[in-house]
């Protein structure tokens, strides 16, 4: 199926699905996938998500990223992944890893890969960032590798952990795991909190330039990727003030209760797919996805970057990034 194309020439091929807002960690930078705080806690079933994915797949949406909250707190998470896969989707998961050991074997034949959040290798710093324990996360990584699951590590750079970037890179290299190094974005926190937690990415990028054997770019969101001597890929994700990333975005999002969200930074154009999903109205849901695609636009555009920066929650004084 040929994917939908928005008015900026961007195909719609990816969907990021938050299946729950519940989480067993309390990360200090959590942005709840940009979802509003007044959501009522309704969670669609595995069968509901399978139906939604079958309609989305018919429109050319091929890749489905399951996230939360923490998706593995749902005891039907394997059923959710299976239902989406059976509907024609290629499924991956983002998890904090604390429950991964429990589900690794069952998920091994269902997912293309799993992203595990690993923001520190120091148990105390890890606890300060996540209010969770490091040991179960490391155990989950080992169990997933033993089950043959392809992993990626997600490392959000903060003032608390920015000194650990070489340790995280070495850990990923030694395990043969690709790595995403992610800049903090100003969602879900006050200006004071953001300024306190934000850390510059320049030293990390200079280090990667120095040690990499090749630099490339991912087609998805035009993300810069470094190939290291170990063979792993390290991708740098800078989601604030980055028109190049926005102009190459091919994704929409869905909330646990079936709201369609066109951009992590926007809640002013949410579309409610819940009635169509519950009633199994395939044509109605199809038209809603088509409408969502028509509403898609890059949040950060080269000609409007300052305006976009000031509109993020209306209170962040983020410097314009040179482009």
Neighbouring CB atoms inside 10 A of 237's CB total 20
What pLDDT, on a 0 to 100 scale, did the predictor assign at position 220? 80
Q: Is the pLDDT of residue 296 over 80?
A: yes
Q: Is the pLDDT of residue 239 over 50?
A: yes
Instruction: Please give the helix or strand (H or E) that residue 156 lies within, else none.
Output: strand 151-157
Q: Is the pLDDT of residue 319 over 80?
A: no
Q: Is the pLDDT of residue 9 over 70?
A: yes
Per cent of the chain over pLDDT 90 is 85
291 token code pair: 């409408």
Per cent of the chain over pLDDT 70 is 93
- Please answer whether residues 20 and 71 qualify as being in contact, where contact means their C-beta atoms are separated by less than 8 angstroms: yes
The pLDDT confidence band at residue 34, using thresholds 50, 70 and 90, is very high
Cα–chain center distance at 98:
17
Q: How far is the CA of 92 from the CAs of 76, 85, 271, 319, in angstroms? A: 16, 10, 24, 33
Q: pLDDT by residue (tens digit) across 169-222?
A: 999 999 999 999 999 999 988 889 999 999 999 999 999 999 999 999 887 888
Residues 6+ positions from 149 with CB-CB distance below 8 Å: 104, 107, 108, 111, 113, 114
H-type alpha helices, the chain:
46-58, 77-86, 100-107, 123-130, 134-146, 165-175, 191-197, 202-211, 243-246, 274-278, 282-295, 305-311
- Can you tell me which residue has the tokens 């926007």? 266
- Can you tell me which residue has the tokens 């938050």? 18
- Quick one: average pLDDT of 9-16? 97
The pLDDT confidence band at residue 41, using thresholds 50, 70 and 90, is confident
Spell out the domain ranges in the chain: 4-311
Residues 6+ positions from 306 with CB-CB distance below 8 Å: 320
Least-confidence region, from 44-48, 55-59, 249-253, 303-307: 303-307
CATH of domain 4-311: 3.20.20.70
């Amino acid at each position: 199926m040929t994917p939908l194309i928005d008015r900026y020439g961007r195909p719609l091929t990816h969907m990021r699905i938050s299946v729950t807002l519940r989480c067993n960690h309390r990360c200090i930078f959590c942005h709840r996938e940009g979802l509003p705080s007044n959501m009522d806690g309704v969670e669609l079933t595995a069968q509901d998500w399978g139906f939604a994915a079958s309609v989305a797949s018919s429109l050319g949406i091929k890749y489905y990223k399951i996230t939360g909250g923490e998706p593995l707190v749902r005891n039907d998470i394997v059923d959710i992944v299976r239902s989406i896969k059976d509907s024609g989707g290629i499924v991956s998961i983002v998890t904090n890893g604390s429950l991964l050991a429990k589900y690794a074997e069952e998920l091994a034949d269902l997912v293309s890969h799993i992203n595990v959040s690993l923001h520190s290798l120091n148990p105390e710093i890890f606890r300060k960032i996540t209010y969770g324990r490091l040991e179960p996360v490391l155990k989950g990584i080992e169990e997933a590798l033993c089950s043959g699951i392809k992993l990626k590590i997600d490392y959000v750079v903060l003032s608390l952990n920015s000194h650990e970037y070489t340790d995280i890179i070495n850990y990923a290299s030694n395990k043969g795991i690709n790595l995403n190094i992610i800049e903090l974005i100003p969602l879900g926190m006050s200006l004071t909190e953001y300024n306190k937690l934000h850390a510059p990415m320049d030293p990390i990028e200079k280090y990667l330039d120095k040690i990499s054997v090749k630099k490339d770019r991912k087609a998805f969101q035009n993300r810069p990727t470094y190939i290291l001597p170990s063979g792993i890929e390290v991708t740098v994700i800078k989601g604030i003030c980055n028109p190049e990333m926005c102009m190459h975005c091919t994704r929409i999002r869905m909330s646990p209760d079936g709201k369609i969200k066109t951009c992590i930074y926007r809640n002013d154009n949410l579309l409610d797919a819940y009635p169509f999903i519950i009633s199994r109205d395939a044509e109605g849901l199809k038209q809603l996805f088509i409408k969502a695609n028509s509403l898609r636009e890059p949040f950060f555009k080269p000609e409007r970057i300052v305006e976009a920066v000031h509109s993020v929650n209306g209170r962040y004084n983020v410097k314009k990034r040179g482009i």
